[in-house]
Amino acid sequence: MFEIKEISVAYDGRTILDRIGMGLEQGTFTALVGPNGTGKSTLLKSIAGLIPARGQAALAGRVLNQNEKLKTVAYMPQDTGAQSSLTVLEVVLLGRLQSLGMRIGNDIRAQAIAALGRFHLEALQDRPIGAISGGQRQLVFLAQSLFRAPKVLLLDEPTAALDLRHQLIVLDRIRATCADSGMIAMAAMHDLSLAARFADRIVFLNGGMICADGAPDKVLNPAILQQVYGVEAEVQQGQSGVLHVSPVRALQREII
Amino acid sequence: MATDATLAGSASGRQMARRLFWLMSISGLLAVAFIGDILTGPAFLNVFDVLAALVSPATAHDPTTVIIVHSIRLPMSLMALIVGASLGVAGAEMQTLLGNPLASPYTLGFSAAAGFGAAITILFGFALPVIPSMTIPVMAFLSAGVACLMVYGLAHIRGITAEVMVLAGIATLFLFQSMQSLVQYLAAPEVLQEIVFWLFGSMLKASWFSVSVSGVILVVSVALLLPDFWKLTALRLGDERAASLGVNVGALRRRVFFVVALLTAGAVAFVGTIGFVGLVAPHLARMMVGEDQRLLIPASAVCGGLIMTGASIASKLLSPGAVVPIGIVTALVGVPFLFGLILTGKQRHW
């Protein structure tokens, strides 16, 4: 069990996150959803120890210090492009930056190539990261994150700007890794239908606080969507049994 | 698990072999250029006499040649190599730290500050008590140190980000450039000539002492960078991605900033301001060996050394019987290299 306790973040006296706490079971995939600017990225970064925050993160009951967080928790930022001419293989190798020496052994190189192989990207290993498509780049960075073999993987909008096929590949691989290795994953997402399909649990964040938390079929309903997003939406079960969210119209809200 | 043989034959294995081949080739070229630099000079010495004086000074039959080679040409050639290597490494790290292909060791004003330190020393004509001959280099070095502290102080207050460092550096650059111009304006014509000659950059100022100091600074600086090679490589993916991989980006930027300041001050304090090398050498290196800092740092050093050594040869051949200040010809030598690689290279590096 990975627990986050009383995580709070404030900038210039403004509260961004207010005493967020939750426990994430081993081998599960949690979707973190909510409107823009509600603190999803901030929460992921604060859990990973990348920004100053109050509160604690604990794995199996043991509170993690900063160094332990860096070893245990991997954070994959949003894709904002990459202008580097580092090769795809070098990018994946950087996933184990802390243990790389002047000479890279054949074993670790083979493991990095195998990590690329899980996404059928071996053929790209020599290509510059800045010269491949956005979808391929996202898969490469996911391969890098998984190459670290983290106990906890936090992903910031891993499917943003991806086509339908790449969205399915990315989320399918995350879910499979959770099931196979017991990794705990949490991803900030905007597509609620994808979240319902792949996540074991959905956490709604609004105004820096958790306002709903549970299995997709428990929390995905029109009332919560109206409360969190200010929209009228339909939630239907598809033929495969997966919930599908269709926004109908935006409701008038007082603009603050 | 892949075996050595399969990996050696893999695409990544071939690419690494290609990069090592490039590194060894330019190192070989540098060795040849270095010998060529020693062989050339305004004294028109016999090539075989110079080689004899170089290889076996005790048995060489012309003592004048031995003195010229060992007291003048060798320190000048070594200084050109060390200064070029220092500026190459400093440029590569500056471009990495600031994420900017136009960055060079001079972007943050260290060289302008060194020039100002030298200019006021020449203007007022004062000398240090124990080491009067070292007054100009010491003042240039200290002045570069002041610029370094100014940029660091501003960045420390506002956050050690690339943007803040570039802004603070450009402000420092303009400040010292304007003070340098003021000193030149106030100087008498003969003093002005001396200042301008210093600012051109010349290997005639080289000595075994300056070679030792700049050489030690280069070796120590590269040793200080060694533990951060992979972190610097990760920084090319951007601050956020580097941080997500466990790099303390602020601390890394702070450490490497001081190393770059040390390298730049160590290079320019003795020989004056030499432009172009620190900007272009890292680009040449990157085109040949990529961005893995394990190869980029030595390749930048070799490319910097090669440009400076080539410029040193050109500076002696351009005007027979005289040595043109090397700072004037560095671009003349480096631009054809760069254009050639831009036209033949297939990959974009920025």
Q: How far is CA A53 from CA A1, A15, A49, A129, in A?
A: 21, 11, 8, 32
Determine, for residues A94 and B349 on separate chains, whether the beta-carbon distance falls below 8 Å: no
Q: How far is A178 from chain B (nearest CA, A)?
A: 20
Residues in A touching B291 (Cβ below 8 Å): 84-86, 90
Determine, for residues B12 and A107 on separate chains, whether the beta-carbon distance falls below 8 Å: no
Q: Assign A207 to helix, strand or coil.
A: coil
Q: How far is B295 from chain A (nearest CA, A)?
A: 10
Q: How far is B265 from chain A (nearest CA, A)?
A: 28
pLDDT at B326: 87
Q: List, for residues B189-233, the tens digit of each pLDDT value.
A: 999 999 998 888 888 888 999 999 999 999 999 999 999 999 999
pLDDT at B348: 61
Average pLDDT over residues A223-234: 90
Is the per-residue pLDDT at A254 higher than 60?
A: no
Is the per-residue pLDDT at B10 higher than 70?
A: no
Taking one residue from A and the other from B, the number of pairs with CB-CB distance under 8 angstroms is 86
Task: Report residue A187's pLDDT band, with 50, 70 and 90 as the boundaries.
Answer: very high
Q: List, for residues A140-165, the tens digit of each pLDDT value.
A: 999 999 999 999 999 999 998 788 98
- 8 A C-beta contact, residue B274 and residue B87: yes
Q: Of A77, A89, A90, which is closest to B244 when you measure between CB atoms?
A: A77
A207 phi, psi to nearest 5 deg: 60, 30
- 8 A C-beta contact, residue B113 and residue B104: no
Asked if residue A157 belongs to a domain, the reply is yes
pLDDT at B3: 42
- Please state, as a whole number, how many other Cβ atoms lie within 10 Å of the Cβ of residue A174: 24
- Please state, as a whole number, how many other Cβ atoms lie within 10 Å of the Cβ of residue B9: 11
pLDDT at B9: 52
Is the per-residue pLDDT at A197 higher than 60?
A: yes
Alpha-carbon torsion B69, B73, B79, B82, what sign? negative
Q: Of A71, A80, A100, which is closest to B230 when you measure between CB atoms?
A: A100
Residues in B touching A50 (Cβ below 8 Å): 240, 243-244
- Please state, as a whole number, how many other Cβ atoms lie within 10 Å of the Cβ of residue A230: 13
Asked if residue A134 belongs to a domain, the reply is yes
Q: Assign A21 to helix, strand or coil.
A: strand
E-state strands within A160-240? 184-188, 201-206, 209-214, 231-237
For chain A, the residue count is 256
B179/B131: higher pLDDT: B179
Asked if residue A56 belongs to a domain, the reply is yes
Is the per-residue pLDDT at A256 higher than 50?
A: no
CATH code of A167's domain: 3.40.50.300
Give Rg (Cα) of chain A.
19
Asked if residue A256 belongs to a domain, the reply is no
Tokens of A19: 């005493």
Q: Assign B126 to helix, strand or coil.
A: coil
Determine, for residues B246 and A97 on separate chains, whether the beta-carbon distance falls below 8 Å: yes
Q: Percentage of residues in chain A with pLDDT exceeding 70?
A: 98
B253 phi, psi to nearest 5 deg: -60, -40
Asked if residue A43 belongs to a domain, the reply is yes
How many domains are there within chain A? 1
Residues in B touching A47 (Cβ below 8 Å): none
Asked if residue A187 belongs to a domain, the reply is yes
- Please state, as a whole number, how many other Cβ atoms lie within 10 Å of the Cβ of residue A63: 11
What is the average pLDDT value for chain B, to the nearest integer? 88
Average pLDDT over residues A80-99: 88
What domain range includes position A75?
A: 2-250
Beta-ladder partners of A11: A14
Locate tokens 């991803």: which residue? A187
Alpha-carbon torsion B11, B17, B19, B22, what sign? negative
Determine, for residues A87 and B15 on separate chains, whether the beta-carbon distance falls below 8 Å: yes
Domain ranges in chain B? 15-344
Beta-ladder partners of A9: A17
pLDDT at B350: 60
Asked if residue A201 belongs to a domain, the reply is yes
Asked if residue A30 belongs to a domain, the reply is yes
pLDDT at A42: 94
Task: Report residue A103's pLDDT band, with 50, 70 and 90 as the boundaries.
Answer: confident
What is the average pLDDT value for chain A, to the nearest integer? 90
Q: How far is A17 from chain B (nearest CA, A)?
A: 20
- Window from B118-127, B155-164, B209-218 with minimum mean pLDDT: B155-164
Instruction: Look up the ipTM and state it.
Output: 0.86
Average pLDDT over residues A172-200: 94
Buried b (16+ CB within 10 A) or exposed e, B256-273: bbbbbbbbbbbbbbbbbb
Q: Of A50, A86, A109, which is closest to B12 when you measure between CB atoms?
A: A109
pLDDT at B1: 41
The CATH superfamily assigned to B15-344 is ABC transporter involved in vitamin B12 uptake, BtuC (1.10.3470.10)
Q: How far is A193 from chain B (nearest CA, A)?
A: 28
Task: Report residue B338's pLDDT band, with 50, 70 and 90 as the boundaries.
Answer: confident
Q: What angle do CA B119, B122, B126 make, to 5 degrees?
A: 125
Average pLDDT over residues A64-79: 87
pLDDT at B143: 93
Q: Which residues contact B325 (CB under 8 A, 6 or more apart)?
A: B197, B200, B201, B202, B272, B315
Is the per-residue pLDDT at A234 higher than 50?
A: yes
pLDDT at B4: 42
Q: Assign B170 to helix, strand or coil.
A: helix
pTM comes to 0.87
Is the per-residue pLDDT at B142 higher than 60?
A: yes
Locate tokens 């290993």: which residue? A125
Residues in B touching A94 (Cβ below 8 Å): 230, 233-234, 237, 245
Average pLDDT over residues A56-78: 88
pLDDT at B6: 45
Average pLDDT over residues A26-50: 93
Q: Of B246, B294, B350, which is closest to A70 when you measure between CB atoms?
A: B246
